[in-house]
Amino acid sequence: MKWIEIMSDILTYGIFIYSIVLLLFYIFIGIYAIGATRRYIHKNSFANYRVLVSSSYVPAVSIIAPAYNEGAGIIANVRSLLSTYYSNIEVIIVNDGSKDDSLQKLIHAYQLEKVDFLVYAQIPTKAVRGIYKSTNAVYKKLIVVDKENGGKADALNVGINIATHDYVVCIDVDCILEQDAILKMIKPFLEETDTRVIAAGGVVRVANSCIVEDGKLVKVRLPQAYLPRIQALEYIRAFLLGRMAWARLNGLLLISGAFGAFDKEVVIKCGGYNTNTVGEDMELVVRMRRYMEDHHQKYKIIYIPDPLCWTEVPSNYSILGRQRNRWMRGTIETLMAHKKLFFNPKYGYLGMLSYPYWFFFEMLAPIIEFFGVIAFFILTFLGLVTWKIFIALLLFIIFFGYVYSTFAILMEVVTYNQYKHKKDIANLFLAMLIEPFMFHSFGVWCSMKGFVDLIRKKKEWGAMKRQGFDGAKH
Amino acid sequence: MVTIVFTILILLLLGSVYLYLYKKKRNFFSNKNIQQKFEEWVSRFLLESIATENPTLIIPPYLKKQFKRRAKKQAAINILVQTKRDLAGMGTKGITNIYEQLGFKQFSINKLKHSFWHIKAKGIQELYIMDQSDMLGTMYRYTNSSNKYVRKEAQTAIIHFLGFNGLHFLNVLSKPISDWEQINLMEQLKQFPFTPIKHLETWLQSRNHTVVLFTLKLIATYQQFQTYQAVAHCLKHTHEKVRIQAVKTLISINDEGTANILVHQYPKETLANKINIIEQLAFIALHTQQQFFFNCLQEEQPILKLAAAKVLEQQGINISKLLQGKDAAMKQHFYTHKKTDMPI
C-alpha cells in the first residue's frame, strides 16, 4: 500500500503548491489592477474628448463587423455603428454568406448598390461576391461586403483587406457600443511616442435584461436570470481585475473578439486572423506580440476599464456549455500553436509570465480540478482522506473565491458603478454564493468536454443563439 | 480559523461597498441641491452680465458657506469649467469673475503646486480655462515637464493665452509631443486668427522628431509656402514618420517641381512611404508623371501596383484589366469586380 500513499502525497502536495501559486497570482492581480484602473481614471479626469469628436486631425478608423444570419437585428445594429461619435470612420459589414435575408435587408434599408472594386487581398480569404455602397450620402461611411461563408476569422480578414484606414476596430455586429467607445479606444494609440500600441481592448459588459432602443443602450439593469447574472460578475472580475492587471504588466494575451482595436499594419504583417482555430481573437493577439518580440520592436497592448461594449451572454446551459467548450479549445489551440514561448526568456514577460500563467492557470486549471475530484473519490474509497484537513481546505478555497468576487464588486462600485438599483449589489452577492457549486462546476465540466473535443479534432464553433434584449425596439 | 478570517474580510469588503454607496448617495443628494442652486445663480448672473456692463456680483452666503468644503468647491469649479467650455463671448468673462470672487483661483493654484501629476494637470487646466493669465509664467515651466499629461495641459495653456506666439515652447522642447497632444494643440490654434509663425524652419531642424512632425503639420494646415525648401530637406530625415508627413506637407504647398522631387525620392523610400508617395502624387500628378505610375505597375509588391493602378484609373485608364491581363498570378491577390459581373 506504500506506493498508494506516496502517490497520494505527491498528488496532495502537488495540488497544494499549485493552489498556493494560483491564489498568490489572484492576490497580485487584484492589488495590481487597482493601480491600473486608478491611473486610467486619473488621466481621464481632465481629458477632453470633445476635441476629438469633431477634429479633422484624428486618425481614420475602420470598424469591421462580421455578420452571419443576423437578419433580425442587423438594420438597428448598423445604424448604431453609424451613429458612433467619431468624425473619421468607415463601417465595414461583412456578410459571411448568411443564409437569411441579412444582405437584402441591408440593401433595402441603406439604399446600397454594387460597386466596382479593386482591392489588394493581403490576407488570403474566401471569395468576395460583391462590395456595396449606399447611393444615399447620409450613409457614405457604410461599406457592405458579401462573401462566401468562411467563418468569423475569414470574414474579419476580408474586412481588414478592404479597410482603407490605419486602425481597425473589430466588433461583433450585435454588440452595443457606447457612443464614445471608438474615441476612447483610439486615444491610447495616439498617446504613445516611443512605444507602438499594437492593440487596445475595451471592457465588455453583459447586456441581458438591459433596455435597448434602436441599437442603443438606454438603461443598464442587472440580468434577472441567474446564468447571465453570474456571468455579469464573472465579466467584472475578468475585465476590471484580470485584464487591467495584465495590461499594466504589458502581459495581455487576449482581447475580446467582441470589441478590440488593432494597428492594421501589424495585423497584416502577422497574416491576420487564423481561420484554423476557434480562438482566433486570442491567437491573433499572441501572434502580434510574438511578431513584435521577434522584430525587437517596443510595443504595448492597452486595456480600457470603461464599460464601452455591451453584449448578450448565454442564458441557458446548453449555449453556455458550447461557448465554454469553444473557449477551452481556443485557448489550447493558441497555446499549442505558440509553444515556443513557454518559459522562453527571449520573449520576456510574454514567455516567462503571461504564457506560463495561461498554460498552468487558464488551460490546466479545469483539467487539474476535474482530475482532483476524481482523485478525491478514489482516495475516499481507499479511506485515505483526512476529513478535517479536506473540509478546512475546501472552505478555504471557497471563501477565498468569495473574497475575490466581493473585492471585484467593490472595485465595480468604486469605479463605474453600473448597477444602481438598491437590490443589485445584494443580488450579485447572492449569485456569487452559489457560484462555486453550480456555475463553476459546470464551467469545469464544459472545459473538460472542450479538451476531449479537441483531441477528437472537433472544429465546431458553437453557434450562439441570441434571446434579444429587453425592450428592444428596432 | 481561516474561514473566520475570510468571513470577516468578506463582511468588511461588503461593508465598504455599502458604506461607499451610502456616502455616494448622501453626497449626490446634498451636492445635487447645492449644484442646482449654484447653476441657477450662475445662469442668473450671466444673463445679468449680458444685460448690464458691470453687474454686481453678490454671492449668496449659503453658497459661500458650502464652498468651504473641498469636494463642493471642486464640484462648483467643474460646473464653471464646463459652462465656460460650452459658452463663448461675453458670458465667459462673467464665469471668470465668479471663479475669482469665490476664491477658487487659490484652490487651483494649490493643485498646480501639488506633487501628484493628475492634480497638477487638473490645476493647470482650471487656471487656463478660467483665463488666469498671471499664472502664465508658472505654467510655462511645465511645458517641458517629464509627465506627459502635465506637459500637455501646460502647452495647451500657453496656446490658450498666446495663440500662435505660444508655440515658442517648441524652441526648447526636448520631450516628445504625442499625436494626441498634437491634435489638441492644432484644435486649440484653430480658435485664433492666423498670425505669421516665426522659427518654423528652426523647428524643422529640431533634434526632437515630434517637433519636426508637428511643425510639418502646421506648415501644411497654414500653407506656409516660404518653408518649401526646408520641408523638402525633411525627406532626408531618419524617422520614417517625419518623411511620410514631409511628403504630405510638400503636396499641400506644392509647386511645379514637387512631383519630380517625390518621383526621385520614391526609390529611396520604405514601403509605407512609397505607398504614401503614390497616393499623394495622385493629388497633383499631371500626365507627365503617368510613366511613373506605369513603372510602379512593374513593382514586385502587389500593394504598390494596386496604389499605382488606382491613380491611373482615376486618370481614366482601365487598369484593372491591364493588371490581370499582364500577370495572371496577380489575380489571386486581388478582389476585383465589376458591378455588372454578378447581378443579385
Q: Is the per-residue pLDDT at A17 higher than 50?
A: yes
Q: Is the per-residue pLDDT at A472 higher than 50?
A: no
Q: Is the per-residue pLDDT at B123 higher than 50?
A: yes
> What's residue A473's pLDDT?
43
Taking only the tens place, the pLDDT of each residue in B4-50 is 888 888 889 888 888 888 888 887 777 777 778 888 888 877 777 76
Q: Is the per-residue pLDDT at B55 higher than 80?
A: no
Instruction: State the amino acid at position A420 in one-letter form.
Output: K
Nearest CA of chain B to the CA of A2: how many Å? 32
Q: Do A46 and B122 touch (CB under 8 A)?
A: yes
**Does A371 fall in a domain?**
yes
B176: nearest CB among A194, A406, A413:
A194
- Planar angle of CA A467, A468, A470, nearest 5 degrees: 115
Q: Is the per-residue pLDDT at B278 higher than 90?
A: yes
pLDDT > 70: what percent of chain A?
96
> What values do phi and psi take at A26, rounded to 5?
-60, -45
Maximum mean pLDDT: which of A77-81, A342-346, A417-421, B292-296: A342-346
Handedness of CA A59, A65, A71, A72 (dihedral sign): negative
Taking only the tens place, the pLDDT of each residue in A229-261 is 999 999 999 999 999 999 999 999 999 989 999
Q: What is the maximum span of chain A, computed from C-alpha positions, in angstroms?
A: 82
Q: Do A115 and B335 touch (CB under 8 A)?
A: no
Q: Is the per-residue pLDDT at B343 higher than 60?
A: no
> What's residue B89's pLDDT?
63
Taking only the tens place, the pLDDT of each residue in A151-202 is 999 999 999 999 999 999 999 988 889 888 999 999 999 999 889 999 999 8
Nearest CA of chain A to the CA of B224: how many Å? 18
> What's residue A462's pLDDT?
58
Contacts of A162 in chain B (CB under 8 A): 335
pLDDT > 90: what percent of chain A?
70
Burial of A156 (0-12, 13-18, 19+ CB in 10 A): buried
Q: Do A118 and B336 touch (CB under 8 A)?
A: yes
Provide mean pLDDT across the span A130-142. Answer: 94
> What's residue A71's pLDDT?
86
Q: Is the per-residue pLDDT at B336 higher than 90?
A: no
B333: nearest CB among A120, A128, A193:
A120
Q: Could you give the CA distance from residue A391 to residue A403 in angstroms, rounded to a whole number?
A: 18
Instruction: State the amino acid at position A328 in one-letter form.
Output: M
Three-state SS for B153-194 is HHHHHHHHHHHHHHHHHHHCCCCCCCHHHHHHHHHHHCCCCC
> What's residue B150's pLDDT?
95
- Least confident window among A288-297, B106-115, B324-333: B324-333
**ipTM entry:** 0.85
Looking at the structure of chain A, the number of domains it has is: 1
Q: Could you give the CA distance from residue A277 to residue A228 in angstroms, rounded to a whole number?
A: 26
Q: Whole domain around residue A422: which residue ranges?
A: 1-47+175-474
What integer best gives the mean pLDDT of chain B? 86
**Does A81 fall in a domain?**
no
For chain B, the residue count is 344
Q: How far is CA B242 from the centre of its chain?
A: 18
Q: Do A425 and B18 touch (CB under 8 A)?
A: yes
- pLDDT band for B324, please (50, 70, 90 cuts): low
- Least confident window among A365-369, B162-166, B285-289: B285-289
Provide mean pLDDT across the span A435-439. Answer: 92
**Does A4 fall in a domain?**
yes
Decide if A234 contacts A288 (C-beta within 8 A): no
Top pLDDT among A292 and B338 is at A292
Nearest CA of chain A to the CA of B100: how many Å? 21
Burial of B71 (0-12, 13-18, 19+ CB in 10 A): exposed
**Does A112 fall in a domain?**
no
Q: Is the per-residue pLDDT at A301 higher than 90?
A: yes
- pLDDT band for B344, please (50, 70, 90 cuts): very low
**Does A431 fall in a domain?**
yes
> What's residue A464's pLDDT?
57
Nearest CA of chain A to the CA of B31: how many Å? 18
Q: Is the per-residue pLDDT at B102 higher than 90?
A: no
Handedness of CA A158, A164, A166, A170 (dihedral sign): negative
